[in-house]
Structure 1
Amino acid sequence: MRSNVSSLKEDPTPRPVTITPELAEDLLSRTAVNRRLDMGVVDFLAETIRRGEWQLTHQGIALDGPLESGSLVDGQHRLYAIIKADTAVRIFVFEGLSRSAFSVLDTGKRRSGADALSQTGEKYVTLFSSTIRHVILFKTVPELPWSGIRARVTNDRTLKEYNANTERYRDSIAVGRNLSKQIFTTPTAAAAGYFLTTEAAPFAPVEEWIDGLVSGANLKAGDPRLALLKVPRDPRRRGTKKRFDSKEQMAIYIKAWNSWVENEAVVNLRLKKGEKMPIPIELKRANGTSERRSEI
């Protein structure tokens, strides 16, 4: 039976090409149809290129004719990113794509970090993905909003972080799920907070910290763990009806941890207006024991 699929000669022809910043500028000068430029997307892709995370995939650029003379139909954000990163990358170029195809480009669902982690066999891939994302954002853009295109984390970066710290993330997920039942934070905020604080202070008596939060028994007034337990489940920003987001929940968790490590008495845990994200206190081992002082 004869196929009704177009012959290969009539189809757009893809081929991998090294696109330099100079070639990117030339191609952009031949733009035929394109969406409005989103500089957030450009910045995100440029950072991906700078970090060496760019990979050759089927997603490339498309022209309505040959590379040397065709007009650009799709791929302007990738080309602007190449220019901004000032780095050449390998990318598939589709030559001979009809301009009428523009209306159906990029209409599919973008794969999430959880989708990328599904291949690992982990049970809580969504929680793994969100925890890893929060850890990366804490380390890279602690003072910027953690929403929007500028806060996107590539799936490749998520997988690399997971593979580099698999066991620590597994432990953090287990602790985060448990602590979220005791304190006001989400499992993501608790897991990310636990990961970051124990990374900074690997020799701190973590079991003592966790036991105090889980049982709440015999905690003296001023103990930061008691203050953390007393933060209401539905905390609101002062003067608003908006709840604390996961970034702010992490900040409160880290503040409590820092005070506990430093033996500082705390009665009420709160975030001041404009307060920066606290940095977990580093606690190194000294003479075979933790440097943390005696209990409050």
Structure 2
Amino acid sequence: MRITTLTPATARDLLRRAHPSRRRQEETVQSYALAMRDGFWVTNGLPVIISRTGVLLDGMQRLAACAESGIPLRTYLAENVADDAYHTIDQHRRRSLAALLKQDGHTRHHLLASLLQRLAEYDADALGRPHAGPSAWVRLTRMLSTCPEIEAALTASLARASSPLPEAARSTLIFMGRQSDPELTERLLDVLETPGQFPAHEPGLLLLQELQRDRAAASWERPLALAIKTLNAMLAGKRLRGLSWNNRATRGKPPEAFPCLLGYQGLTALAPSPEEGAAVPDGQHWQMEIIDSAVAKRYLAKGGQTRQPIPAHVQALASDIQRGRWMLNAQPICFSASGRLLNGMHRLLAVIAADGRIRTPVVRGLPEEAGPSYDTQPKRIAAAESLAGDFGDQGLATAMANLFWRYERRTDHTQYKRAGAAEIREILTQHPRLIELRSFARRMVEYGRSSVMGYGAYVMEREDPGTAEIFLKALSTGADLGQGHPILALRNTLQRLRREGASQPDQLATLLAGWRRYRSHPAAQQDRKRQASPQGSGTRRGG
């Protein structure tokens, strides 16, 4: 592993070699590209990973952002990693901005995270629009550390708990309004709380009427938009004759844009320049280490990881270590320049729980602000590769393998609810028929979840291959099923459960119970005889 700078051209070349299962995540790419353009990108120790055969195993979103932004990417690069390590990468539990703020000691972390996101979305002209992309957490946390006005606005908002303006709109308005005109902002909030003390032409009274009319609404976007329009009128010294905002298209008219507050220049105007905090410190280094329980305890004692661990995730990793499924995948344990543990808590806890040892890279000397950059992407789907290479519909194969694990491997002492990546791969490798049953499972979606139908079919084939072939064909087609035939009754029951939204366990229990009733039913013997008869394939199945 080495640290290097990848040019946009190199990034595009590596993207052409991406693992076929990887997909571009547009919101993540745009978030990364924004951080790169604004100079807030930090080297956090996580490498771009290339396999022994030259396949890009990890780093697609970062490389796509590099190519799109035109900004060279300074990163660690790990090469010659085992190709089958792909399924072990990004098996974390996704972190939240609120959890990161809590880790940094902020007591009102949930409210503060929401305020930061709203302010960032306002800057990106994304408020009031669905599917707004996420902002780079490194950028937001750095702004919070250098702009105490953000937390002060939240404190001021919570002090006005009796205000009819929802808190989400109130804290946002207070922060923005204080950058524009603090006195008029306070006046508007006072009008909403004590309307009787102000003249009838006060703009805030019209806002109060609208808020009272929409009191039952749960949204905060419209109250904030109306509040900004009201404050704009006050800033311009105008009287309001009406107040409205509609973000939906009506009668051919496009939706109304979210209003801009006069005099507010956005978070960027208050943030430090990239040169003040984004430089990569000297002294970064990495080494391969063998970590046992004693070392893991020592590393955890260094502090920095104040978020609560997820016991089920720790247990899943510990199970992989104990059963020899742990794989070296180049994702390192990360420490800051001050020695603070930035990333790797669950792996270290798993080593202790398993009383085992793992071989893994360890990176030290990283910038302190790298903390918010870890585990921001969704957990990667775990799947195996077929003998012929990669296969489609890996999500379904993984879901079927999870059912196999739940009903055939999970013990009463297992805390985690889903199989780990290594377990999924092991199951699909040892039971490739699960992969082959994907098409049947998809065809049967009318009768149950595809994962249920696929795993159920696999159970039947193992119990009685010949009868299962007859049963599954009849269940799929419904052809030649006479009145009272048990498969016909099962089809009707499964369709009813599907319409009622029955749970996965209920669907599976009904399917397998119907299968076992059929095996002991006289119709099964008749169907087997008919199947064996050269003339019997087209005759009607009786009840």
TM range (shorter): 0.7 to 0.9
SS at match of 2:2: strand
State the shift of 1:254 in Å.
0.8
2:467 maps to what in 1? none
Summarize the Cα distance change of 1:180–1:261 in structure 2 as closer, same or farther, 3 Å threshold: farther
Unaligned runs of 5+ residues in structure 1 are 1-13, 237-241, 284-296
Summarize the Cα distance change of 1:145–1:99 in structure 2 as closer, same or farther, 3 Å threshold: farther
Q: In the alignment, does 2:155 pair up with 1:157?
A: no
Q: In the alignment, does 2:109 pair up with 1:122?
A: no
Supply the distance in 2 between the matched residues of 1:138 and 1:85 (Cα, whole angstroms). 21
The count of aligned residue pairs is: 257
Supply the distance in 2 between the matched residues of 1:135 and 1:272 (Cα, whole angstroms). 20
Supply the distance in 2 between the matched residues of 1:145 and 1:272 (Cα, whole angstroms). 12
Aligned partner letter, 1:170: E
SS at match of 1:231: helix
Summarize the Cα distance change of 1:234–1:94 in structure 2 as closer, same or farther, 3 Å threshold: farther
2:234 maps to what in 1? 260
State the shift of 1:190 in Å.
0.9
2:223 maps to what in 1? 249
Q: After superposition, where does 1:1-296 map in structure 2 within 5 Å? A: 14-65=1-52, 70-142=54-126, 145=129, 147-148=131-132, 150=133, 152-166=134-148, 168-179=149-160, 181-185=162-166, 187-202=167-182, 204-232=183-211, 235=214, 243=217, 245-266=219-240, 269-273=243-247, 274-282=255-263
Can you list the C-alpha shifts for 1:113-161, whole angstroms capped at 9, x where unaligned?
223322443321221121122122212325773634x2x1122111122
RMSD of aligned residue pairs (Cα, Å): 2.8
Say whether the 8 Å CA contact 1:254–1:278 is kept in structure 2. yes
Unaligned runs of 5+ residues in structure 2 are 248-254, 265-543
Summarize the Cα distance change of 1:57–1:233 in structure 2 as closer, same or farther, 3 Å threshold: farther
Summarize the Cα distance change of 1:135–1:270 in structure 2 as closer, same or farther, 3 Å threshold: same
1:9 maps to what in 2? none
SS at match of 2:196: coil
State the shift of 1:104 in Å.
3.5
2:487 maps to what in 1? none
Can you list the C-alpha shifts for 1:61-111, whole angstroms capped at 9, x where unaligned?
21112xxx6221222222121111122121122223333332343232333
Summarize the Cα distance change of 1:25–1:218 in structure 2 as closer, same or farther, 3 Å threshold: closer
Say whether the 8 Å CA contact 1:146–1:247 is kept in structure 2. no
Say whether the 8 Å CA contact 1:62–1:93 is kept in structure 2. yes
SS at match of 1:182: coil
Supply the distance in 2 between the matched residues of 1:30 and 1:208 (Cα, whole angstroms). 59
Supply the distance in 1 between the matched residues of 2:90 and 2:184 (Cα, whole angstroms). 50
Supply the distance in 1 between the matched residues of 2:44 and 2:163 (Cα, whole angstroms). 44
Supply the distance in 2 between the matched residues of 1:173 and 1:99 (Cα, whole angstroms). 48
Supply the distance in 2 between the matched residues of 1:117 and 1:211 (Cα, whole angstroms). 31
Return the index of the structure with the highest Cα Rg.
2
1:4 maps to what in 2? none
SS at match of 1:77: helix
SS at match of 1:136: helix
Can you list the C-alpha shifts for 1:201-227, whole angstroms capped at 9, x where unaligned?
24x344433332222332333322222
